[in-house]
Amino acid sequence: MSANDIKTAVKETSPLFIDGVWRPGSEQQASEDLNPLTGEVYAFVAQASAQDVKDAIEAAYRAREGWRNKLASEKEAILIKAADVVAARTDELRDVIIEESGSVFGKAMFEISYCVDLLRVAAGLVRQVTGETLPMTMPGQLGMTVRQPLGVIAGIAPFNAPFLLAMKKVAFALAAGNTFVLKPSEYTSVIGLKIASIFEEAGLPAGVLNVIPGPSEMVGEILMSDPRVKMVTFTGSTRVGRLLAAQAGKNLKRLTLEMGGKNPFIILNDADLDYAVDAAAFGIYFHQGQVCMASSRIIVEAGLFDSFCTKFAAKAKSLKTGDPHDPSTIVGPLIRESQCAVINEHVRDAVAKGAKLLCGGKHEGALYAPTVLAEVTSEMKVYGEESFGPITSVIRAADSEDALRIANDTSYGLSSAVMTNDLQKAFDLALRLEAGMVHINNCTVADEPHVPFGGVKSSGVGREGGHASMDEMTELKWITTQLGKRGFPF
The stretch 405-419 carries a mean pLDDT of 98
Whether pLDDT at 6 is above 80: no
pLDDT tens for each residue of 80-128: 999 999 999 999 999 999 999 999 999 999 999 999 999 999 999 999 9
Percentage of the residues of the chain whose pLDDT score is greater than 70: 98
A 10 A CB-CB count for 282 gives 15
Question: Residue 198: what pLDDT?
Answer: 98
CA distances to 267, 397, 463 from 116, in Å: 34, 41, 20
pLDDT tens for each residue of 287-340: 999 999 999 999 999 999 999 999 999 999 999 999 999 999 999 999 999 999
Q: Are 371 and 361 in contact (CB under 8 A)?
A: yes
Q: Which of 163, 157, 310, 173 is nearest to 234 (CA)?
A: 157
Q: Dihedrals φ, ψ of 373, to 5°?
A: -110, 130
pLDDT tens for each residue of 340-383: 999 999 999 999 999 999 999 999 999 999 999 999 999 999 99
Catalytic residue among 258, 301, 386, 464: 258
How would residue 4 be classed by pLDDT, with cut points 50, 70 and 90?
Answer: very low
Average pLDDT value over all residues in the chain: 96
Question: Residue 191: what pLDDT?
Answer: 98
Question: Residue 13: what pLDDT?
Answer: 87
pLDDT tens for each residue of 196-221: 999 999 999 999 999 999 999 999 99
**R_g (Cα) of the chain, nearest Å:** 24
The verdict on whether 58 is a catalytic residue reads no
Give the dihedral of Cα atoms 126, 128, 129, 131; nearest 10 deg. 160
Whether pLDDT at 75 is above 50: yes
Q: Are 475 and 133 in contact (CB under 8 A)?
A: no
Whether pLDDT at 397 is above 70: yes
Catalytic residue among 76, 99, 111, 292: 292
Q: Dihedrals φ, ψ of 76, to 5°?
A: -55, -45
pLDDT tens for each residue of 247-277: 999 999 999 999 999 999 999 999 999 999 9
Question: Residue 12: what pLDDT?
Answer: 74
Question: Residue 11: what pLDDT?
Answer: 61
The stretch 26-34 carries a mean pLDDT of 95
The verdict on whether 337 is a catalytic residue reads no
Whether pLDDT at 389 is above 90: yes
Cα–Cα dist 25/41, whole Å? 19
pLDDT tens for each residue of 431-487: 999 999 999 999 999 999 999 999 999 999 999 999 999 999 999 999 999 999 999
pLDDT tens for each residue of 142-188: 999 999 999 999 999 999 999 999 999 999 999 999 999 999 999 99
Q: Which of 132, 120, 219 is nearest to 172 (CA)?
A: 120
Cα–Cα dist 170/439, whole Å? 27
